[in-house]
Every structure is written in structure tokens, then in C-alpha cells.
Amino acid sequence: KAVSTTASRVPRYVRVNTLKTCVDDVIDFFKCQGYAYLGKATSVEELKTLSGKKFLLDLHLPELLVFPSQTDLHDNLLYTSGHIILQDKASCLPAFLLGPVAGSHVIDACAAPGNKTSHLAAILKNKGQIFAFDVDPKRVATMNTLLTRAGVTGCQLVQQDFLTVDPRDPKYSRVTHILLDPSCSGSGMVTRGPGEEVAPSAERLQALAGFQCRILNHALSFPALQRLVYSTCSLHREENEDVVQAVLQEWGLAFSSLPAAAKNPQPGEGTEPGAATKKRKKKKQRVKE
């Protein structure tokens, strides 16, 4: 369970912002700062036992560097200039798994503070269009700053309840990918400062799950949608598998889930487009993978 008590063992993950630099240049920069580069990790165990001024390339994500857990890079020039993003591996998986190809139209439905949006922009190479929504004005303002620092262009950031966004608006007619990372209990978050885990009540879980089902249903109703990634920072089945299962049931044959971890898709890799199209014609509905 990834909570405060285990935070000291969770490595410091660093996503290279490929909108501004490349992995090799960042590795060279850290080497010049006295860090030893140990190459690409070969096991999760290797990540956990990192210590001192050493770092690795992650074994799954190509733009993710891994440092010992206590490494603080907040004052590092690469961070303050937006060349690297301090983003945990779990937070990097949704955009990676969504894997839109450059030029795609993508919605980030619950986007602030925007780490996944900037990751999406990097995967798209700033080519295409991102529509990013968040209901909270303060978080939208923070996100604006973060996206500017990360060199993100081609992103329309809108302060709006995603549930009120009209899927039939022609603006969204080419949206093929949606990242949905809604509010959740946060029970799986790694807190790096002091803090105590408070288990959410059954009522709170039920309320969250109700909202998550509604917003997932809404996201699935965008007409050109091909792939959606639903992610939470929760360890509760009620907010994860149960939500996906309930919503998939409502959509019948139109959508099915992919075993992301087992398949380990590369960015841009889709499932058989023929199968999706066939289903879409049959259902007169949109289709997800």
C-alpha cells in the first residue's frame, strides 16, 4: 500500500519533458552534476535499492529517470526551467497507456494541476489538439503556469464542469482519445511529507463512485472516441474495478477493457481498428477499446 509510511522507499521519479529536451541530454546534465548513471533498470528491486547520487532509466517508461527516494530536485535548474517534471511513475502511466499519435484530438477531462496534460502534449509532440477541463478555478490557474513552463502549446484549458461539456459540439467531433482522472479518495497516494491516512467512510466511497460512474459515462458518449483511460489515486475497488464494470455493463457491446499491464502497449499502439469500427456500425454508438 503506497501511503506515507512507505513513501521513504518510493523512488524519486523524474519525467524528461521531451517538449524541451531529450533523455540523453538530461542524463549528461546529471552526470555533470556528479550523479552516476547506471543505465536501464532490469528489475523493480533495483529501483528500490538505489542510493547515493545514482540514477537509472525506468524499465517500462522510456522518458522516466529514477533516483533514490530522498533526492530533492525542486531547486534543480532542469526542474525550474520545465525540462524535467517531478512525476511519480503511477501518474505517468495514464497518458503513456492512452498513447495518442501526434495530430490526435484528445480530451483531458479532469486535468488540473496538469502533469498528465503536459505528458499528453509531449506524447503528441505538441501536434494535435488537447481540450483540458477542470472545475476548480484555483487549480486551473496553477495549471496554466505549469503548462506554460512545460512549453505546452495546442492545449485549450477551460474552467468548466466536464459533465456540462456537450459531446455533440462539433468542436469535439475529432476527439478520439480521452484521459479521465477524476477526483477520488486519494487512498493510494504517496505523501512525501508528514500525514496520516484516513480511511474514507462507506458513504463517501459511494458518493465518489456515483460521481465517477457519471463522469465516465459522459466521457464515453463522445462520438469519435476510440480509446479512454480511466485512472484514480485510489486503492478502493469501489472507485476502480467496480466503476469500470458498472459503466461497461451499461454500454453493452460498445466498449471493452484492455489488460493494460499485461499487454504493456507502446504509445500510439491501438487495438484492431476493424473490430472497433464493426461494433460502432452495429451499435450506432461510439466505440472504445
Query: Which spans of this chain sit near ligand SAM (rule: CB under 6 A)?
Result: 91, 110-116, 133-136, 139, 161-163, 181-183
Quick count: other Cβ atoms within 10 Å of Cβ 152?
A: 26
- Provide, for the chain, the percentages of residues in helix, strand and coil under a 3-state DSSP scheme, each rounded to the nearest 5: 40, 15, 45
Distance in angstroms between the alpha carbons of the first and the last residue of the chain: 29
Q: Is 112 annotated as a binding residue?
A: yes
Considering the complex, state which of residue 181 and residue 289 has its C-beta at the smaller distance from ligand SAM. 181
Is 24 labelled a binding residue? no
Residue closer to ligand SAM by CB (options 58, 181) is: 181
Q: Is 114 annotated as a binding residue?
A: yes
Closest CB to ligand SAM among residues 56, 132:
132
Q: Do the Cβ atoms of 127 and 120 come closer than 8 Å? A: no
111 is in an annotated binding site: yes
Known binding residue 48? Answer is no
* Nearest distance from C-beta of residue 78 to ligand SAM, angstroms: 20
Q: Which one, 116 or 279, has the nearer CB to ligand SAM?
A: 116
CA diameter of the chain? 60
Residue with nearest beta carbon to ligand SAM:
110
Distance of closest approach, residue 147 Cβ to ligand SAM, in angstroms: 11
Half-sphere exposure of 116 (CA within 13 A, CB side): 32
Residue type, 146: L
Is 110 known as a binding-site position? Answer: yes
**Closest approach of ligand SAM to the CB of residue 130, in Å:** 12
The set of residues, in sequence order, having a beta carbon less than 8 Å from that of 278 and lying 6+ positions away, is none
Active site annotation includes 233: yes
Least distance CB 202 / ligand SAM (angstroms) = 21
- DSSP calls for 21-40: --HHHHHHHHHHTTPEEEEE
Q: Cell numbers 496520516 label which residue? A: 196
Helix (H, G, I), strand (E, B) or coil at 232: coil
Catalytic residue among 155, 184, 213, 233: 233
Helix, strand counts (H, E) of the chain? 10, 10
Q: How many other C-beta atoms can be found within 10 angstroms of the C-beta atom of residue 207?
A: 12
Measured from the CB of residue 17, what is the shortest distance to ligand SAM in angstroms? 14
Tell me the binding residues for S-adenosyl-L-methionine: 110-116, 134, 161, 181
Tell me the binding residues: 110-116, 134, 161, 181
Residues annotated catalytic, as ranges: 233
